[in-house]
C-alpha cells in the first residue's frame, strides 16, 4: 500500500522524466515551428495526460484506504461522545496506527498513523508510538504533532527500522502498536 508521500514522490519523479527526457524526444519529431515551441507544447500535453491518469488513482486511494480509517474514528467518537469531557481533552484526539509496505528486501516498510482532532482548539504536542513484537517492546519513537481543531485525516509515518522492526518481524499478527499523546491545546 502506498502512502501519500510515496504518491507525491512518484508523481514528481515521473513528471521530471516526462519534462527532461521524453518531451525533448517527442519535440524533436515535431520541431517544424521550432524546437523550443514544440518542447513547451509537448510538456503541456504530456503533463496534462499524466495528471488525467494520476488524479483518479489518488482519488481511488483516498476513498479505499484513508476514508475508511477516518470513518472508523468518527464512529468510535460518536459511540464515546457522551463519555468524553466537554472541554478540550487528549481523549478527544483519536489515533489509528497501521502498517504499509512489504517484508521484501527492497520493501518500504512504514508504520503510519492517522489523527482526528475532535476538540475546538488546535492540538500541539507529540505522539510516542511503541512497537511490540510477540508481546515484547522492541522500540519507540516520538513524533511532533500539530493537528488543527476539528481536523480529520492528519497522517504521518515512521520508518519501521526507527522502531527496531526488522524484516522478519513484519507480520501484522505478531506486531502490535501503542501510542501516547502529550501536548496542549492552543
Grid cell in block for residue 123 = 492540538
Judge residue 158's burial from the number of C-beta atoms within 10 Å of its C-beta, 0-12 exposed, 13-18 middle, 19 or more buried: buried
Number of helices and strands in the chain (H, E): 4, 6
pLDDT of residue 7: 67
pTM of the model: 0.68
Q: 59-111: per-residue pLDDT in tens? A: 776 677 778 888 888 999 999 999 999 899 999 999 999 887 766 655 678 88
C-alpha 36/C-alpha 34 separation (Å) is 6
Phi, psi at 79, each rounded to 5° = -70, -35
Using DSSP's 3-state secondary structure scheme, residue 16 falls into helix
Q: 117-144: per-residue pLDDT in tens? A: 999 999 999 999 999 998 899 999 999 9
Amino acid at each position: 500500500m502506498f502512502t501519500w508521500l510515496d504518491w507525491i514522490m512518484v508523481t514528481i519523479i515521473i513528471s521530471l522524466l516526462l519534462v527532461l527526457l521524453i518531451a525533448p524526444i517527442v519535440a524533436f519529431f515535431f520541431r517544424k515551428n521550432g524546437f523550443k515551441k514544440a518542447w513547451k507544447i509537448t510538456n503541456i500535453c504530456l503533463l496534462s495526460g499524466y495528471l488525467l491518469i494520476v488524479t483518479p488513482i489518488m482519488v481511488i486511494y483516498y476513498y479505499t484506504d484513508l476514508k475508511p480509517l477516518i470513518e472508523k474514528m468518527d464512529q468510535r467518537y460518536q459511540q464515546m461522545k457522551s463519555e468524553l469531557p466537554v472541554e478540550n481533552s487528549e481523549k478527544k484526539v483519536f489515533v489509528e496506527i497501521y502498517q504499509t509496505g512489504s517484508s521484501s528486501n527492497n520493501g518500504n516498510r512504514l508504520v503510519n498513523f492517522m489523527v482526528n482532532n475532535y476538540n475546538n482548539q488546535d492540538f500541539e504536542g507529540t505522539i510516542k508510538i511503541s512497537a511490540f513484537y510477540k508481546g515484547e517492546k522492541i522500540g519507540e519513537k516520538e513524533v511532533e504533532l500539530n493537528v488543527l481543531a476539528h481536523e480529520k485525516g492528519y497522517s504521518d509515518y515512521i520508518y519501521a527500522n526507527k522502531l527496531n522492526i526488522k524484516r522478519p518481524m513484519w507480520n501484522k499478527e505478531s506486531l502490535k502498536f501503542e501510542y501516547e499523546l502529550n501536548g496542549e491545546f492552543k
